[in-house]
């Protein structure tokens, strides 16, 4: 927390991201309540579940700490798609393009799901405005 405070007081644009030492929902709570990072990487496989991933993002948001929905390169395309929905629903600050170690496939899977989700949300909004 001291490093974050020093950086903030100096007006630095450098950001502290907590990653490997912050794996469980309880770890995330301790880091964000202590203001020990500017951004938390929330690893869906480590935190426990999709529901816990959402809880972790909301915990970060409530404490004004950035939320980065990350994960593992070994996740499936379905888990990546589910992470998109959690990220959008909770307004996460960032999301990892996953799965895999490459860029193209992961970027396409996540990007396509984001586009599908936003199209559905826009259609619902237009429908609601039309009848409302």
Catalytic site positions: 43
* Residue among 123, 59, 121 nearest 84 (CA): 121
Compute how many other C-beta atoms are within 10 angstroms of the C-beta atom of residue 14. 10
CA gap 45, 48 in Å, rounded: 6
Cβ atoms 43, 71 nearer than 8 A: yes
- Tally DSSP H helices, then E strands, for the chain: 6, 4
């Amino acid at each position: 927390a001291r490093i974050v405070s020093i950086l903030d007081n100096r007006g630095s644009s450098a950001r502290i991201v907590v990653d490997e030492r912050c794996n469980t929902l309880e770890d995330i709570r301790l880091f964000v309540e202590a203001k020990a990072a500017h951004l938390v990487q929330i690893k869906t496989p480590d935190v426990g579940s999709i529901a816990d991933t959402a809880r972790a993002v909301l915990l970060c948001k409530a404490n004004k700490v950035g939320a980065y929905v990350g994960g593992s390169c070994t996740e499936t395309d379905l888990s990546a798609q589910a992470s998109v929905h959690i990220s959008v629903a909770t307004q996460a600050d960032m999301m990892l393009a996953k799965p895999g170690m490459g860029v193209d496939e992961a970027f396409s899977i996540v990007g396509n799901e984001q586009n599908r989700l936003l199209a559905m949300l826009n259609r619902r909004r237009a429908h609601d405005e039309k009848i409302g």
